Structure 1
Amino acid sequence: MDAGASWNIDRTRLPDGGTNLVRLSVMGVPDANDTLFSGENLVSTHDPHRLVALTVVAGSPQSALQQYDLYRQALENSHSRKPLYVLPAFLTSADQGKLAFALASILGLTYSQGTFFYYKPADPLASPVKLANGLLNSIQALTEHDGLVSEIMERVDAQIARIGLRDAIQILTEYYSTIPDGNTQLDEELRELKRLVRNYAEDLRRFSEFNVGLNGRPARQQSTR
C-alpha cells in the first residue's frame, strides 16, 4: 500500500526544500531468512499468503502539507463549537504560548508594523497572520491559538536543527541576558518571556551535554548558516 497520495507536501514550505526528508522502505515476507527477495529491510510476517510493502517518508511538519491551510481553518472553525482536545499533552498552556511568541520573535518568525504584531507563515506567498494590537494582546492572541503555537514550535525545532545547538543556545542567551529594569506590566511580561527562554535554553544545554556524553562529540557544533 502506498500512502504517498495522502501525504502531498509543498516543498517550498520546508526550510531546506525537503532535502533532509528520510525515506524508508520495508518489505514484509513470510520468512525473511528464506525468500526470493533480497535487501536489508526485510521482515518476517509469518503470513504465507501475503506480501507487504511499506514506504515511509519522515521529516516534514504538518504545516508543509499542501492542504494545511484548509485543515487549519477547519480546525479553527470546530474550536468554536466543541472542544477537540481533552488530554493535557495536547492543550496549549499560557507558558507554552508565551515561549512560542518569544522564540518566534527571536528567530524572525514574527514582526511588528506600527503597534500590530504579525506572524510570518513558512510559505513566503502566504499572507501574514495578524495577531493583535500591542505586545501583551499579541502574546495573549497567540496563546489562545493552539495550532499556531504548535506550528511555531515545529519551525523553531527545524531552525535549531539547521543552525546547530551551540549557535542556537548563544542566540537565546543573548536574548535573555538583556534584562528590563522597569516596573510596568510590559516590563514584567518581558522578564517572564526571558525566564521562559532561559529555561528552554537550559533544556537545550542539557540535551547537548547528554549528546556529547553519548557520542563523544558535540551535536552539530558547527553552524551551517
Structure 2
Amino acid sequence: MSFSSHNLKVLIIVPAFNEAKQIKAVIEDIRVHAPYADIVVVNDGSGDDTLQQALLTGAAVLNLPYNLGIGGAVQTGYLHAMNGGYDIAVQIDGDGQHDPADLRQLLSDLVNSGADMVIGSRFLDKAGYQSTWMRKIGIRLLSTLVSRLTGHQATDTTSGFRVCGRRAISLFAQLYPTDYPEVESLILLNNHGLRFIETPVTMRRRAFGKSSITALKSMYYMIKVTLAIFLSHSWKAGREQPS
C-alpha cells in the first residue's frame, strides 16, 4: 500500500547551519516530491545568509538566536510539530544530501508498519554516496551495538533522514539528545517502548561545503556515543528492576 497524504498532517523539519548556498534548492526539491507537506526551516544561528535565503522560499522559518547544535535545532522542529498537531514529522538535512524522492516510501513504511520511526539507510541497498571508509567503520560498529541492545536491525545509525509518528514526535519534543543525537535517539526510543525500522534510500554528496566531523572529532564521537549508549541502556535496565 502506498502512502496517501489525506487526513494526515505532515511537517518536514529542515535543520540548517550555514547552508545559504543550497537551502533554496533543498526546499524547492522537497516541494516537488512532497507538495502535501508543510515545511519548517530551523536556522541554527547561522553566520551566513541562511536565514534570508530560507525566508525567500516562503517556508516557515524558526530562527534560533545562536547555534544550539543539531540536537537543539531538531528538537525545536519537533516542538513545532507537536504544538501544531502534526501526525508525521520528517527530518531532512539542509545540505542537500537527502533525496526527497525517497520520502514517499519512507512515509508508506511508517504508516503500514506501525513503527514509530523510519530511518532512511544508505547501507541497505548500498546505492549512492557511501561516505568515507573511516566513517563507515564507525557507523558499522555503532549500528551493531544499537542492534544488539534494542533488538531492532540498525545499519545506518547516523542517518538524519527520518520519519516519525505522533508518539515519537511527543517524546522528542520533550527529550532529545544534544551534540551528536542520531544514535542516542534510537536508544531513547527503545527505552520508552517505541520501535524503529529502516528503509533503503540513496544519499547524495554535499553540493557545497564539507562535513564538520574531522578524524579527531570522529574518535571523540565514537567514545562519547558509545558511553552514552551504555549509560542510556543501564538507565532502562535500572527502571525494569523490581522495587
- TM-score band by shorter chain is under 0.3
| Larger-Rg structure | 1
